[in-house]
Structure 1
Amino acid sequence: MPASTPSQPQTQPLAAAARGVLLALVAVLTLFATRDVAQLWWIALLGVAGLPAVLAPQHRLLGPLSRFAEVAVLGLAASQVAADTHLNGVTGGLGASAVLAYLAVPVTVTALRRRFAEGAALLAVAAATLLVAAAFTEVDGRRQLTEPGYLAVCAQWLILAGLGLFTARTLQRVMRVRGEGKPQPYAEATRLLTQLRTVARQLPGATLDPGGISEHLLEELRVVAKTDRGAVLSASGGGRLVVLAQVGVDRVDWETTLDADSAIADAWASQQAQTSARSQSRSHRGGEVSALIVPLVAGVRTVGLVVLEADAGHAYPPPVVARVTALTGPAALRLEAALLFDEVRSLATNEERQRLAREIHDGVAQELVMVGYGIDNALATVHEDAEETAESLRTLRQEVTRVITELRLSLFELRSEVDRHGGLAAAIAEYARTVGASGGLRVHLSLDESTARLPAATEAELLRIAQEAVTNARKHAGAANLWVTCEVDPPYAQIEVSDDGHGIGDQRPDGHYGLAIMAERAERIRGRLEIRPRRPSGTTVAVVLGSSPRRDKVRGSTAAEGE
């Protein structure tokens, strides 16, 4: 069937039904007012006049002409019915009201189509027709135009129709203004993402790294304020903060709970700089201390905090606080942009991983399962004298089973995420146990995770590096044991995956490709990837994020003793 064009007749059942119902109502009211069946011919004529508007509502000429014909017939009918009603001893206004109720039809149609000029013209034609018809119609020897009751009823209906048209016009303007003031969510999201993409392409890569921005800010602040230790914290959800960067000689266990009674919580809630004579570290050993906490406020939103501490009294007088605040103001906007970019990238990455998992599960995985079933059916029908064919089928079935297992593990890896309540160590442990069991590996776990959290994007990258290391050990190492160590003490973190296999030198090319991917991920979060042989056999893959001065001291003393 060819597609219809606007010039072709298009019936609209709902509009036609509405017209028919109102036309029938007008016919009943007219019959009730005049008690004369002959007057219904006006109603029939009204229906004929409106028929083109029903059959071809989109036509540029037929639709408007039909509506003008309707109001012209309506004016003549109202005048004649009013006169006949008066002859029957009933006021003429009742008969006019019975017919003029139909005036709502053409006026409403123009309002719905936003043809308000046409609606005003229809009212003008209706008024003119009513006046002309009344001027030539006599009632009891005088012109109907002189009947006050008739004129009052006509005026009431015309005013009501005009008010309805004006209201529709006003509502349409209000909705248009609101639509211009509030862009649609997807249109606004597209605009903002386009701007973010443009900015991301123009700026150097490090400027959209929250950790890099935080470290640079701390270095700037150390020039203007005495700082024995300091940190930049940001929100992570659940009323807790994460450490983006820190400086100082010793590792600091900062207060990261926003509902605690601390200057950190006060600064976050008030968006005002706070000074305190009490350390904001839970690991502070005592002694005189000065603390300065400055919120990083972008617009009206607090995006982070800067915490500076000095082992001296009154180290942060008002002039120093002013200099620090002058530096943190611009940094807040840069940090917010970096955090938002990180979040958008993380959301997009997770969504893509989930999409790939769904496609693999619903596509290739299901087809391979069906192939396996087909091989099973073929094995069941192979004759005993065809042992060579049966053996080939069994080998093929084993290979299909292996590929299905690999696919299922890949799906598990794609869907694995760091639970904001469980933590990074729990996610790595779950993956290592599941993958190790599938590969017949004995898994040894050593987990040491602080209550403080790393940024979500950093945790996600560390999880992917650990997953790749575990997968490489299962696929290529030929190991019997797997050791997984996870130490998280923000902003420091270290993940180690060791095996007792045949070593990295004998791995396949795809294993080296996996190592390259891990190196890229480590570089993205400003970490370092270490690959070294394990004694007496095997390989150790480690990723280290940040530094822990206390651990470095321990390792240095251990190395000195070894020498």
Structure 2
Amino acid sequence: MSMLLPTRSINPAQAHRLPIVLVARAVIFAMCFTLTIVIPAQRVHALPVGALFIIAVLASLPYPQSLLTSAIPFLEGLAAAAIIAYSSPLSDTLLPYLLVPALAIGISRGFGGVAVSVVISGGILWLSTQPDLSSDAGLAQVSLVAQWLVVSMAVGLIASWAKRILVTSNDPDLAAYESAYRLLDQLRQVSRQLSVGLDATTLTESLLDDLLATMSAARGATYVPGDSTDFRALSTRGVRPEQWVPLSSGDSIWAQAWSDGDIHANTHGLSVIEQDAFGAVIPLRVGERTIALIGLERTNEPFTDEELTAARVSAGTYAIRLDAALLFSDIRFSATTEERRRLARDIHDGVAQELASLGYAIDDLGATHTDPATSAGLSDLRREVTRIISELRLSIFDLRSDVSVGMSLNVALSEYVRSQAIGSHIQVHLSLQEAPERLSIDVEAELLRIVQEALANARKHAHAENIWISSRIQPPLFEIKVEDDGQGLGQGRDDSYGLKIMSERAERIGGALEVGARDTGGTIVRVSRA
């Protein structure tokens, strides 16, 4: 059957010419014609058979694609029903032809289209013949027509089902891609309507602010599973990263809340060292999964059961939003990474290769010209082409440099600086401090892009001899500074978007970008989240 029914995709405008439809049309018409000739009582229907033959031929011809060609199976069904209805008496031998349009519509439009076509055809047959239901002959006629209409519905249903099965079995990825497209399209539409979007940090900060206010808590933090540690902080209020260290195992209330999904409280706070404070951990759950933990702490009195229950209800309204935001962040990071790699490949295989060929052509011209002025001009041109190729090489490296599950931000920074070779006349000084836990990968990726842009500006415009890069990471807090001893900030151009893009990246991850002059000369770029 797969030879008769293409399974890659079916164009509704060509459904009337699918091989399986053409074969069915020829076979069923031949059967109708044969029965009409063989059965003496049906020979009076030679004219309707001729009309049906014309309809079959017209329905089998190729036509330019348009809305009308998409409707050919419907028109064929209506025309066949009209021909059968106006054959006097009603031709029993022509009724099987109703199966042909039902087959074509089932393949191209599904069972819904078949139902519409069969109902309209049945209405035409009923209104045209007006059978006498009080007589046995009238009841027999209605029964016969109804049987063929039901069979047509069944054929359309089978055709629709068979097409779906064949498409799935021949191209298993197609259904997955179609499902992914529908989900992504829904995500795009929904994200535009959300009050705080799909940013996990913004969501958890809003949640923390609500809980701190309603629970009269002094400080709090939201944690999600980390890439290299048990948990990483998404947002904090009044908590230094080293003070709270939630673990997914052990007998702490963090571990208990994570494993059983219930609220847990204590009378010695949530810090690593016990204090005179009252702590509570509230899990955020989606169905049977715990996706995050919220820690709250205050010093005046223990949390009551009523307060904790109300907090869980309030936090529960954020759970599905946070789960969607974390999923969206993963999708966005994967898509961005793949797109950057594609751009790097295109630049390398396209313009970079063309420029290299241009450089070789300039070398050949320089070797054949003895005129000093021409040779000097070609040498200058060759140096400029070499500089552009070097910039492209650095741009390709920028696009392909990234953080990953196995490479943290500070490791990526040191690898980037060492591999890129900023310049023979520039000394780069690195100072890196990093906690055992990491920032989320999407935050680290944005920070890496900011540092890359700052380094590119220092290399191209500052004429610096030294660049200092300092990075202090204490999730969810960070501070990265890029300093140079160059000529300082120049007059900005209206068509320059570097600083604006850096600022947008910092805002996207809840940070702040500061660009200014160093006290001893040069420029300092600082991005931080305190």
Given the two structures, how large is their TM-score scaled by the length of structure 1? 0.63
- Selected match of 2:453 from 462, 465, 468: 468
- Selected match of 2:305 from 318, 322, 339: 318
Question: How far 1:260 moved relative to its partner?
Answer: 5.2
Q: Is residue 415 of structure 2 the alignment partner of residue 427 of structure 1?
A: no
Could you tell me which residue of structure 2 aligns to residue 558 of structure 1?
Answer: none
Please give the residue correspondences for 1:246-325 in structure 2 after superposition, counting only pairs within 5 Å. 246-248=236-238, 250-259=240-249, 261-277=251-267, 279-282=269-272, 284=273, 286-311=274-299, 315-325=302-312
SS at match of 2:285: strand
- Selected match of 1:342 from 326, 329, 348: 329
Deviates most, 187-196 or 226-235: 226-235
Deviations 1:136-162 (A, max 9, x none): xxxxxxxxxxxxxxxxxxxxxxxxxxx
Deviations 1:97-143 (A, max 9, x none): xxxxxxxxxxxxx9xxx89xxxxxxxxxxxxxxxxxxxxxxxxxxxx
Distance 1:60 1:172, change over 3 A: closer
Please give the residue correspondences for 1:528-543 in structure 2 after superposition, counting only pairs within 5 Å. 528-543=512-527
Could you tell me which residue of structure 1 aligns to residue 181 of structure 2?
Answer: 190
Distance in structure 1 (CA, Å) of the matches to 2:379 and 2:470: 40
- Selected match of 2:384 from 399, 409, 423: 399
Could you tell me which residue of structure 1 aligns to residue 200 of structure 2?
Answer: 210
* Contact persistence 1:266–1:274 (CA under 8 A): yes
Distance 1:469 1:437, change over 3 A: closer
Report the AA paired with residue 444 of structure 2: E
Q: Is residue 393 of structure 2 the alignment partner of residue 387 of structure 1?
A: no
* Contact persistence 1:498–1:539 (CA under 8 A): yes
Distance 1:541 1:201, change over 3 A: same
Between Structure 1 and Structure 2, how many residues are aligned? 399
Report the AA paired with residue 234 of structure 2: L
Question: How far 1:274 moved relative to its partner?
Answer: 2.4
* Contact persistence 2:221–2:233 (CA under 8 A): yes
- Selected match of 1:357 from 341, 344, 358: 344
Q: Is residue 190 of structure 2 the alignment partner of residue 199 of structure 1?
A: yes
Deviates most, 245-254 or 438-447: 245-254
Distance in structure 1 (CA, Å) of the matches to 2:162 and 2:267: 57
Distance in structure 1 (CA, Å) of the matches to 2:497 and 2:289: 42
Distance 1:275 1:67, change over 3 A: farther
* Contact persistence 1:208–1:337 (CA under 8 A): yes
Distance in structure 2 (CA, Å) of the matches to 1:273 and 1:419: 33
- Selected match of 1:332 from 311, 319, 344: 319
Question: How far 1:228 moved relative to its partner?
Answer: 3.3
Q: Please provide the CA RMSD for this pair.
A: 3.8
Deviates most, 417-426 or 342-351: 342-351
Distance 1:176 1:398, change over 3 A: closer
- Selected match of 1:522 from 494, 497, 506: 506
Aligned-pair identity in percent equals: 40
Deviations 1:153-187 (A, max 9, x none): xxxxxxxxxxxxx9xx999959959999x992122
Larger radius of gyration, structure 1 or 2? 1
SS at match of 1:184: helix
* Contact persistence 1:230–1:246 (CA under 8 A): yes
Could you tell me which residue of structure 2 aligns to residue 7 of structure 1?
Answer: none
Please give the residue correspondences for 1:370-381 in structure 2 after superposition, counting only pairs within 5 Å. 370-381=357-368
Distance in structure 1 (CA, Å) of the matches to 2:161 and 2:299: 65
SS at match of 1:202: coil
Distance in structure 2 (CA, Å) of the matches to 1:277 and 1:56: 76
Report the AA paired with residue 416 of structure 1: S
Question: How far 1:328 moved relative to its partner?
Answer: 0.9
Could you tell me which residue of structure 1 aligns to residue 394 of structure 2?
Answer: 409
Q: Runs of 4 or more off by more than 6 Å in structure 1?
A: 65-69, 169-172, 177-180
Report the AA paired with residue 178 of structure 2: A
Deviations 1:405-459 (A, max 9, x none): 1001001111111122221111122223334533531011110111122122211
Question: How far 1:318 moved relative to its partner?
Answer: 2.2
* Contact persistence 1:436–1:474 (CA under 8 A): no
Report the AA paired with residue 284 of structure 2: L
Distance in structure 2 (CA, Å) of the matches to 1:388 and 1:324: 81
* Contact persistence 2:229–2:438 (CA under 8 A): no
* Contact persistence 1:432–1:470 (CA under 8 A): no
Distance 1:259 1:424, change over 3 A: farther
Distance in structure 2 (CA, Å) of the matches to 1:194 and 1:326: 30
* Contact persistence 1:436–1:442 (CA under 8 A): no
Deviates most, 59-68 or 425-434: 59-68
* Contact persistence 2:212–2:219 (CA under 8 A): no
Question: How far 1:321 moved relative to its partner?
Answer: 1.8
Structure 2: unaligned runs, 5 residues or longer: 5-18, 34-98, 105-153
Distance in structure 1 (CA, Å) of the matches to 2:25 and 2:515: 81
* Contact persistence 1:435–1:470 (CA under 8 A): no
SS at match of 2:497: helix
Distance in structure 2 (CA, Å) of the matches to 1:174 and 1:513: 55
Given the two structures, how large is their TM-score scaled by the length of structure 2? 0.67
Distance 1:400 1:219, change over 3 A: same
Q: Is residue 211 of structure 2 the alignment partner of residue 224 of structure 1?
A: no
Distance in structure 1 (CA, Å) of the matches to 2:384 and 2:160: 67
Report the AA paired with residue 360 of structure 2: Y
Report the AA paired with residue 199 of structure 2: D
Distance in structure 2 (CA, Å) of the matches to 1:480 and 1:464: 22
